[in-house]
């Protein structure tokens, strides 16, 4: 079983390039905790960033791994350079449709 979380961010006007320059630094940290980036897409016209992250196991397993990742010094280091430009976000678990 795999759990997928869909994350959509609305970025402050003109700040999407800052976010896109920062985001790749987060990927190895997520991977260290068993996550896999399914996709990551930017929509420059609407200044949004949408990505899906997967983890083996159910939602509880996902949440446990996410909490461990969030508490890690590796993540803290990556967030030292975070551009703090996300104005709004939608985050939820997704299931396949087709």
86-94, strands of its sheet edge to edge: 35-43, 48-56, 2-11, 86-94
DSSP symbols for 22-52: HGGGTHHHHHHTTEEEEEEEEETTTTEEEEE
Confidence class for position 96, pLDDT limits 50, 70, 90? confident
- What was the pLDDT predicted at 69? 98
Q: How high does pLDDT run on average in the chain?
A: 97
pTM: 0.92
Domain 2-88: assigned CATH number: 3.30.70.100
For residues 4 and 71, is the Cβ–Cβ distance under 8 A?
Answer: no
pLDDT digits (tens, 9 = 90+) for 16-59: 999 999 999 999 999 999 999 999 999 999 999 999 999 999 99
Q: Which two tokens stand for residue 25?
A: 């630094």
Q: What is the pLDDT of residue 37?
A: 97
Quick one: pLDDT at residue 84?
Answer: 93
In this prediction, residue 98 carries a pLDDT of 86
Q: Where are the domains of the chain?
A: 2-88
């Amino acid at each position: 079983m795999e759990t997928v979380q869909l994350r959509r961010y609305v970025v402050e006007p003109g700040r999407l390039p800052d976010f896109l320059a920062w985001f790749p630094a987060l990927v190895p940290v997520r991977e260290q905790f068993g996550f896999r980036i399914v996709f990551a897409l930017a929509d420059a016209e609407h200044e949004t960033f949408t990505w899906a992250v997967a983890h083996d196991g159910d939602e509880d397993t996902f949440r446990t791994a996410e909490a461990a990742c969030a508490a890690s010094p590796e993540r803290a280091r990556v967030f030292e350079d975070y551009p703090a430009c996300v104005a709004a976000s939608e985050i939820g678990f997704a299931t396949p449709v087709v």
